[in-house]
Structure 1
C-alpha cells in the first residue's frame, strides 16, 4: 500500500510539473560575457555627474553619472576621480576631463599629477596629460579649481603649494602652455573669450587676459568687491550665460559679469532676511547655488544660520529671479541636503544631495518631490548637470 501511494503521488507531481512548465515563457537567450553597453556621446539634459570624494578612501574617489529623471536603472556609469580630484565635462566634445593625483605606493611614494581624458560613450581613458611639479591644488573639491577657456581648447588648473598659480593646458596638443603666478588669489572663473578671473584674499579680483600662445596679454586687479570679514562669497557660483551669481554667507547674491576680458562687478542684492527660533535663514552647504536655463537661481538655505553655519547644509531651497532681485518661490526639502544642482531641461529638475549619498529629485518649477535615488555615492560634494 505504501508503495502504491508513493507511485501515485509521484505521477501526480510529474503531471502538475509538466502543466506548470508548459505555462512558462521561453527562456531568455544567453547574454555574451562580458556584455558592455556604450552610452550616448551626448548625454541627455537629465543626466548629472555626482562627484563622490569618498572620504573613507580618498585614492578611490569617483564620479557617478546618473539620470535623475529615471525611476529605474538611473545609474549609468562612473569614472575614477582620484585623491581630491576634480571633474570637468566638456560641452563641445564627447570627453570628460579629470584632474587627479596618484602616488607610486598608493598612499605614499612618488607623486604624479595628471589630467585624464575619458571617452563619454565608453567611459574608457583615451589619453592623459602629465602635470609637472606636484602642484595641483588638493582640497575638498571645488568646480572652479579646474575650468575650460578658449572655446574649450584650453584647460585652466589651479595650483596650490601653498603658493598659488594657474596652469594653462592645451587639451589638443596635450601640453602645458604656461603657468601664471597668482599670489594671494584662488580658483579660476573663465572670463572673456580667452582668460580667467581669480578671487583674492584682500577682497579684490584679478582678471588675466591670455594671448594665442597662452601667455599673459593683460591683467588688472579690481578694488575690493568681496566683503571677506563680514559677508564673504561662497566660492562656487551659478552661471547664467557669462554672469556668475555667488551666494554670500549672510544670504545676499553677488553678481560678476565675465563676458569680457576684464570681469565687471554687478554689485550685491539681498534675499529676504527672516529670523527663526534657531537663528536666521542663511545659505548652507557645499555647493549652495545653481541656475536653470531660464536664469532663475536656486539657493540651499539653513534655518539655523549663524556665524560658522555656512557648511551645515540646508532644508529649503529659495528660488530667486536675479533680474527682478526677488525671491519668487520656496521649496521645502523632504531631507536635509549638502549640495544642490538644477538640470538644463526646459522643465528643470532640482537635485539635492544628502549626506548619506542619496539624491532627492524635485520638479524645480512646482517644487513637487519626485523621487529618491538611494545611496548613489558615499560622499556627494559637487554635482554637475549635463549641458
Structure 2
C-alpha cells in the first residue's frame, strides 16, 4: 500500500510541475517548416551531372542524383525518382526533365501504367505526366537511347519491347500520343534529321524513319550492313559530337554515324591505337563506355583483361582519342575500377568515373590528374548525363 501511495504522490508532483510550466511558458514555440526547400537554377551549370541509379536492390525505387562534380563539398544538389527500369532525359531547351517509368498498382504486381513524368528543373517538382498506352515500354537495365527527343525537343521517342520492338512518338507540348511505329528486328532510338530517328538492327544495318508534321512515319531507309554483330558488335550508347554519334565496338574500333540528315550515314571506322600491357589485351568495357567533351575529344573506358564476354566488366583506364587525327592523346589511369564514364561540357572538362559502390571519381580531363571522390551518391550508378 505504501508503494501505491508513493506512486500517486509522484504523479501529482508531475502534474503540478506541468501546470507550473504551462503558466510560465503559456505560448509554445511556432512550428518550423520541414523541410526547407531551395530552388535550383533553371539552367544547370556545365559541371553538373545526372547520375542514374537503377537501384538493383529495390527496382521500383530507382532515382537520379543531380551532382556538381566541380564542387569541393555539398556535391549533391537534388534527386528525383525514376521508377522501375526508368530512363531520365534532361531537356536542353526548356526547364524540364523527362522520365519514362513504369508503375504497378500493387508495387511489384497488378495493373501496369507506363508514363512520361515531366519534372521542373528549378523545384524538382512533378509538373505533369503523359500516360503511355499498351504497357509495352521496354523494361531493361538503363540505356540512354531508349528515351530521346526530336523535332527541336517538342517530341519524345520511347522505345518499346514486348519482345516485339516499336517506338511511341509523344507530343510533349500537347501532352498526347502521336503514333506508334513498328521496328521489327531493330532496337533503340537515335534522333535523326530535323524530325525523325534511326534504330540499330539485328542484321547489322540501321533503319532511319523521318516523321511528318503529325508525327506519323514516312518511308524507312535501311543502310548496308556495317555492324559486325557476330564478331565485333558496337556498344549501343554513342558519344555525341554535334550530330555525329561515335560508337565503339567490343574489340576497340571507333565508328562515326552522321545523324544530321533525314537518313543516317555510316562515316567509317578506325581502330583505337593498340597499347601493350593488356592481359591478354586492352578492350572497351563497362556500361557507359564512351563520352565526348565539347572540343570533340573522345573518352573510352578500357579494361586490360579484354576477352570474349568481358564487355560489361568495367575498366581501369580512360583513353582519350582525337577522332580527327585518329590518335591516342593520353591515357588516364583510374584510381578505382569503374563502371561508366562521362565528360562534363565545361571549357576545361572534368571526367567522371562511376564505381560499383555508388561513388564518383573525378579527374581533370586535360591532364588526367585525380581531383576528388564524391562518395556514395547513389546505389548503382549505371549511366550518367552531363548538363548541357
TM-score under structure 2 normalisation?
0.91
- Per the alignment, residue 226 of structure 1 pairs with 227
- Per the alignment, residue 216 of structure 2 pairs with 215
Q: Cα deviations across residues 139-175 of structure 1 (Å, max 9, x unaligned)?
A: 0000000000000000000000000000000001011
**Displacement of 1:326 after TM fit?**
1.1
- Per the alignment, residue 138 of structure 1 pairs with 139
RMSD after superposition: 1.0
Per the alignment, in what secondary structure is the counterpart of residue 198 of structure 2?
strand
Query: Is the aligned partner of 1:287 residue 2:291?
Result: no
Mapped contact 1:276–1:304 kept (Cα < 8 A): no
How many residues are treated as equivalent by the alignment?
358
Q: Cα deviations across residues 268-313 of structure 1 (Å, max 9, x unaligned)?
A: 1011223546210000000000000000000000000010000000
Mapped to 1, the partners of 2:182 and 2:97 lie a distance apart of 27
- Per the alignment, residue 239 of structure 1 pairs with 240
- Per the alignment, residue 384 of structure 1 pairs with 385
Gaps of 5+ in 1: 1-29
Query: Is the aligned partner of 1:71 residue 2:72?
Result: yes
Q: Cα deviations across residues 7-27 of structure 1 (Å, max 9, x unaligned)?
A: xxxxxxxxxxxxxxxxxxxxx
- Per the alignment, residue 109 of structure 1 pairs with 110
- Structure 1 residues 296 and 114, CA, compared in 2 at 3 Å: closer, same or farther? same
Mapped contact 1:283–1:314 kept (Cα < 8 A): yes
Mapped to 1, the partners of 2:43 and 2:75 lie a distance apart of 17
1:44-63 aligned at under 5 Å gives the runs: 44-63=45-64
Mapped to 1, the partners of 2:272 and 2:153 lie a distance apart of 34
- Per the alignment, residue 3 of structure 2 pairs with none
**Displacement of 1:32 after TM fit?**
4.8
- Per the alignment, residue 249 of structure 1 pairs with 250
Query: Is the aligned partner of 1:335 residue 2:355?
Result: no
Per the alignment, in what secondary structure is the counterpart of residue 304 of structure 1?
coil
- Per the alignment, residue 15 of structure 1 pairs with none
Q: Cα deviations across residues 19-50 of structure 1 (Å, max 9, x unaligned)?
A: xxxxxxxxxxx975431101011000000000
Mapped to 2, the partners of 1:212 and 1:193 lie a distance apart of 11
- Per the alignment, residue 271 of structure 2 pairs with 270
1:13-162 aligned at under 5 Å gives the runs: 32-162=33-163
Mapped to 2, the partners of 1:276 and 1:290 lie a distance apart of 23
- Per the alignment, residue 356 of structure 1 pairs with 357
- Per the alignment, residue 171 of structure 1 pairs with 172
- Per the alignment, residue 25 of structure 1 pairs with none
- Structure 1 residues 41 and 53, CA, compared in 2 at 3 Å: closer, same or farther? same
Higher mean alpha-carbon deviation, 273-282 vs 314-323, is at 273-282
**Displacement of 1:219 after TM fit?**
1.4
Per the alignment, in what secondary structure is the counterpart of residue 335 of structure 1?
strand
TM-score under structure 1 normalisation?
0.91
- Structure 1 residues 277 and 346, CA, compared in 2 at 3 Å: closer, same or farther? closer
Mapped to 2, the partners of 1:300 and 1:272 lie a distance apart of 14
Mapped to 2, the partners of 1:331 and 1:245 lie a distance apart of 20
Mapped contact 2:278–2:306 kept (Cα < 8 A): no
Per the alignment, in what secondary structure is the counterpart of residue 59 of structure 1?
helix
**Displacement of 1:263 after TM fit?**
0.4
Mapped contact 2:103–2:113 kept (Cα < 8 A): yes
Q: Cα deviations across residues 331-368 of structure 1 (Å, max 9, x unaligned)?
A: 00010100000000000000000000000000001101
**Displacement of 1:218 after TM fit?**
2.5
Mapped to 1, the partners of 2:309 and 2:340 lie a distance apart of 17
Per the alignment, in what secondary structure is the counterpart of residue 197 of structure 1?
strand
Query: Is the aligned partner of 1:370 residue 2:349?
Result: no
Higher mean alpha-carbon deviation, 320-329 vs 231-240, is at 320-329
Q: Cα deviations across residues 110-153 of structure 1 (Å, max 9, x unaligned)?
A: 00000000000000000000011101000000000000000000
